[in-house]
Every structure is written in structure tokens, then in C-alpha cells.
């Protein structure tokens, strides 16, 4: 009898042990959804956050790991399961440098930073997750995929009259290059926008080139056919001419270009003792207007330049 009791107890404890050994996450096992797991430590250890296609975190400062620990600038490894792309940004609101991943990284210290400066460990402040096949809900920050967004939004259409393929954006969304994203039906979006519907108190700035460059079009109301909206000098229309976009609240207007140029010129004269060249002027004006750089940030960037180091005795 004692032998039978001992055997029964052993079997029971073995069952309990096996049950507790199983992952508690309902998405483990056969048929689980594609997902991304972010960890606070290398080798997929430490605190974690689980994200799914369509998820986006505008600012990790407002989001904690599952155990309540702070998550901003604390991601050290990324586990990718299924056909998804993870896009991490160095700044909040999907700004700054970006890191695109379709495969896991056990240690972000081994992933070179922008222009091979530093690395991506503890560098991520906002992120999106993009599905690369059937589950797809997002191919852009803020995109709605197959769902519907209610409230203020901007709808980009591939055809005039608000017809054809569509992308939906909301306040704060930015697309640095439409060549990197697609419409909801996965079709190409770059240079294929023909009408824009603005719902609510929003404004949109569209650029003819990627990276917020080239001529720009500012809108705070819908345009049913961009073929009738002329570009600078009236030489061409804006139909099928948009490559990057920024969406803002209607009362959040970008700094005008003359004001941005004044900031950049003053920084150049004070730091480098000269006026900016056309390329430098364009680059830093864009950073001030679209990335929200302050004059101090422009000055710091100039002080980090090779020209400054050479003229101030810090060259090699």
C-alpha cells in the first residue's frame, strides 16, 4: 500500500512539475502568432515585452516591461518569431535613426549603430512591428492595415476621388520614405499618391523626395485630385510625386524655412566661423523642422564634425 501511495505521489508531482515547466504565454506552441519579444538583457534574458504585428510604441518612457521595470533605452536583445519586421527608433515618436530587423538579435551590442558609430544596445526609444505576410496590419508607423481608425486621420489614396489602395495615418506619424512601405493591399506606395483625405484637425506636409527632402506641399484640408495641385513654379503637379510625409495636429505647425535657416546660419557662424554650404544648410534645416532639433543640437553636431576638430586643434 505504501508503495502504491509513493508511486501515486511521484506521478502526481511529476505531472505538476511538467505543467509548471510549460510556458505560461498562451502564444507558445503550435499555431502561435508571429510576434516580437524585447528583452532587457542579452541572450533573451531579463524583463520582457511582447509585441504583435500592428503594435507600435510611440515612447518607451511611457511603457514598462511586463514586470514593471522601466523600458526606455533598456532593450538589449530582440527575439523575432514568424514573418514580422521589427523597426526600432533611437528617439520617441518614431524619430531619429532606425533599426530594421527580420531576424533575432541575441545581443544588440553586436549590432552596429548608425554609420557604424556605437551600437544599438540600450538605444531604442520607440518601435513598430510589421507583418510580412497574411497577418499583416502595418507597414508604416500608425498604419491601420485592415482595421478602421475613427477620429482625426489622414487617408492617402492611389487614385483620385479617394479611390484605390489606401494608407491611413494619425497625428505624429511620419513616413521617411514611401519606398519602404506599402498600401494596405501591399502594393507600392512611393510616387503613387493621387488624393488625400484629411479628417479632423490635422495637417500634412508631403515631400517630393525621401528623407523629407525636395519641394514640399502643406495641407490642412482634403485634396480630391492631386493632378490639380501644382508644384513649385507650376511646372508639375503633385500627382504621383510624394515620397515622404509628416502628419501633425492642426495646431502643431512646423517651423517655417526662413526661421530654420536663421538658426542654422547662426550656428555655423558661431561654431565654424562661416556660412553653411547648400548641402549643410538643407540638412540641418530639415533636422530643425522635421526632427525638432534645437539650435543647441545643431551646434553640438557641428562641434562633432571633422572640420571643427581640425580648426580647434583636435584633429589627428
Mean pLDDT on 229-245: 80
Share of the chain above pLDDT 70, in %: 78
107 has a pLDDT exceeding 60: yes
Number of other residues whose CB lies within 10 A of the CB of residue 14 = 10
Q: Name 128's bridge partners.
A: 56, 87
Looking at the fold, whether 182 and 240 belong to one and the same domain comes out as: yes
Mean pLDDT on 63-70: 85
Is there a domain that residue 16 lies in?
no
**Model pLDDT for residues 79-104, shown as the tens digit of each residue:** 998 878 898 988 888 888 888 888 88
Residues 6+ apart with CB under 8 A from 84: 34, 35, 36, 53, 102, 129, 130, 131, 132
Is there a domain that residue 39 lies in?
yes
The one-character DSSP state at 172 is T
20 has a pLDDT exceeding 70: no
Q: Which domain holds residue 292?
A: 257-311
Which pTM does this prediction carry?
0.45
**Model pLDDT for residues 114-169, shown as the tens digit of each residue:** 665 678 999 999 998 877 653 333 344 444 443 456 678 899 999 999 999 899 88
Question: Mean of the per-residue pLDDT values for the chain?
Answer: 79
Is there a domain that residue 10 lies in?
no
Q: Report the CATH number at residue 162.
A: 2.60.20.10
Count: domains in the chain: 3
Measured in degrees and rounded to the nearest 5, phi and psi for residue 267 equal -65, -45
Measured between alpha carbons, how far apart are the two ends of the chain, in Å? 86
pLDDT, position 132 = 66
- With contact defined as beta carbons under 8 Å apart, do 196 and 157 qualify? yes
Amino acid at each position: 500500500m505504501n508503495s502504491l501511495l509513493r508511486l501515486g505521489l511521484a506521478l502526481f508531482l511529476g505531472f505538476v512539475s511538467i505543467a509548471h515547466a510549460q510556458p505560461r504565454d498562451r502564444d507558445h506552441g503550435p499555431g502561435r502568432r508571429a510576434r516580437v519579444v524585447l528583452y532587457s538583457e542579452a541572450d533573451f534574458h531579463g524583463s520582457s515585452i511582447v509585441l504583435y504585428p500592428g503594435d507600435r510604441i510611440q515612447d518607451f518612457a511611457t511603457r514598462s516591461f511586463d514586470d514593471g521595470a522601466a523600458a526606455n533605452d533598456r532593450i538589449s536583445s530582440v527575439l523575432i518569431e514568424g514573418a514580422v519586421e521589427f523597426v526600432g527608433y533611437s528617439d520617441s515618436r518614431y524619430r531619429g535613426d532606425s533599426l530594421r530587423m527580420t531576424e533575432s538579435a541575441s545581443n544588440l551590442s553586436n549590432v552596429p549603430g548608425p554609420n557604424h558609430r556605437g551600437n544599438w544596445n540600450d538605444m531604442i526609444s520607440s518601435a513598430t512591428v510589421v507583418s510580412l505576410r497574411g497577418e499583416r496590419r502595418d507597414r508604416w508607423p500608425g498604419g491601420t492595415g485592415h482595421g478602421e481608425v475613427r477620429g482625426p486621420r489622414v487617408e492617402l489614396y492611389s487614385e483620385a476621388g479617394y479611390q484605390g489602395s489606401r494608407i491611413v495615418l494619425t497625428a505624429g506619424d511620419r513616413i521617411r520614405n514611401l519606398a519602404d512601405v506599402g498600401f494596405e493591399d501591399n502594393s507600392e506606395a512611393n510616387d503613387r499618391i493621387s488624393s488625400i483625405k484629411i479628417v479632423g484637425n490635422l495637417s500634412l506636409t508631403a515631400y517630393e523626395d525621401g528623407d523629407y527632402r525636395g519641394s514640399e506641399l502643406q495641407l490642412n484640408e482634403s485634396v480630391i485630385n492631386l493632378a490639380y495641385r501644382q508644384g513649385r513654379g507650376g511646372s508639375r503637379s503633385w500627382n504621383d510625386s510624394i515620397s515622404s510625409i509628416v502628419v501633425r495636429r492642426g495646431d502643431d505647425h512646423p517651423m517655417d524655412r526662413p526661421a530654420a535657416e536663421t538658426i542654422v546660419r547662426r550656428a555655423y557662424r558661431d561654431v565654424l566661423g562661416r556660412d553653411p554650404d547648400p548641402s549643410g544648410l538643407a540638412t540641418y534645416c530639415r533636422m530643425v523642422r522635421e526632427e525638432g532639433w534645437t539650435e543647441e543640437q545643431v551646434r553640438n553636431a557641428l562641434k562633432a564634425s571633422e572640420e571643427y576638430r581640425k580648426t580647434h586643434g583636435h584633429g589627428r
